[in-house]
Amino acid sequence: MKDEPPADLIPDYTALMRLDDQVHVVLGAGNGMGQQSAHALAAFGATVVCVDLDAARAEAVAGEVKGIAWNGDITSRADVRRLFADVVAAKGRLDGVIDIVGLARAKPVVEYTDDDWAFHHDIVLRHAYLAIQYATEQWRALGTGGALTFVASAAGLLSAPGLGAYGAAKAALMSLVRTAAVELGPDGIRVNAVAPGVIRTPRSQGNPKWTDELVRANVERTPLRKLGYPPDVAGALLFFSSPLAGHVTGQTLVVDGGAGVVFNCESPS
């Protein structure tokens, strides 16, 4: 079949940035990258369904963005099925999903317990494949496509001492994204990921291990000479969620200030 170019080769790029009348779901919207993603989507016109295990946090962020709060456990198959059914029943459509949920328990690989290993695969992977399944179920019933965007991690692309199980689970998430993109592309469903490097989130702000010395070390090894913050990640997630990324699927965009492209070795010359 011959592919015909669009009649208008210069589209309205401003319109491609807008999400007016669209409905987007943010999994883990209660703070940090999830909260910023909800604000980014809302700023471009979307109605945002703010999902969090903590009902109060979901309500707070939904209030900030004039969205909809939804409380539940996204590692539960029944809850994820209910979530997407509720969204479509209430709004009649679903346009995108951003899933930022993840957590790491830092320790050497040789010290991991079976519980540690299972924890990482549940908190990084389980909700991702459930979101893919039940968002797709709704899109196929509606006869529409949409965008699924996941937060992976540079730990899944590079060596991350102390984060072996977390990095392995994030690497698996990026593989899942690629496979889902291929399988769901014919349905008009785009699947992508954003892989942050060192990001100063609200959770890290309260961590006593985040010393001034650690901050300086991370800044010095980053070409842009600064740490990343949640809005940096939200901007990349917003791009994948928008029509601007309408021909992008199966990709992982690294947001790390350039740290991952540095060959960390001193040359003798």
CA atoms within 13 A on the CB side of 229: 5
CA 19, 95, 125, 57 dihedral sign is positive
Whether 166 is a known active-site residue: answer yes
In terms of Cα–Cα distance, which of 83, 82, 98, 85 is closest to 46? 98
Computed on alpha carbons and rounded to an integer, the radius of gyration of the chain in Å comes to 19
3 three-state secondary structure: coil
Q: Under DSSP, is residue 37 helix (H, G, I), strand (E, B) or coil?
A: helix
User: If you ran DSSP here, which 8-state letter would residue 158 be given?
Assistant: S
Contact 178/250 with Cβ under 8 angstroms?
yes
Q: Which of 112, 129, 166, 229 is catalytic?
A: 166
Helix (H) or strand (E) holding 8: none
Going 16 to 51 to 249 to 144, the CA torsion angle's sign is: negative
Element containing residue 68 per DSSP (H, E)? strand 68-71
Which residues are tagged catalytic? 166
